[in-house]
Structure 1
Amino acid sequence: MHTETATVLPFSQHRDERAAQSDRAGVRLKATRRGRVVLTALAFLLGLLVAAALLLMFEVPSALAGGGAEEPVTLTVEAGDTLWGYADEFAPDGMSEQEFVSEVRSLNHLTTPRVTAGQLIELPALEGASH
């Protein structure tokens, strides 16, 4: 049968270990220059990740891109108004009236280019529109 024997340290050795532990309790660690650089780099990368996540979450890239459309403008159709008339008035430079009418139809889910008085429609507020 195998019996384990415990190692018993002399009293003076126990006291030396306790003294060493209590001496270490007051020691304050100082980061080296390399450690500070690594911590700074990690904090910077973490900040970039958080910023990227927030940008993607709140769809800021599309707002910053300035790639054309802003918020659509809602207006009430008056008697005699047509989408072609709105295209003539609101279409930006470089966009044909036909493209503008198609954009308005798509934005408002219209099956035809006809609109009626009193109808609310949204017009895309495009940069460079000639109001």
Structure 2
Amino acid sequence: MRTDIATVLPIPSRVTSRHDVAPRARVRLEPTRRGRLLITALAFVLGLLVAGAVLLSVDLPALAGTESEQPVTITVEAGDTLWGFAEQYAPEGVSAQEFITEVRVHNQLPTGRVTAGQEIELPFLEDAAR
């Protein structure tokens, strides 16, 4: 059996001590064009989500319409008349007779009589809003 001898050379070491190493220069990372587009798209989507959450959580009358544009539902009590409702709810510039006629048409009432417990809607009149 034959045995050969091999010579092992030491691996040179670059670092002899910690103090001899020069500090690494600061590396400044800049996004590529694709990276900038991705960041912009993410910011845009995040902005849309925040705007949507704000619009859903905040009651804005300018976007939803004013409350006076919605018809008012009233339950008739004893002694109530359409004339009384006209005096109380008719918009400025609309006569009581016009208001009563509009209420009758809107609620499909055959006469001007209402009974206690009956529910009627008082419509919003566009002519008076202008």
TM-score (norm 2): 0.44
Q: Which has the higher helix share?
A: 1
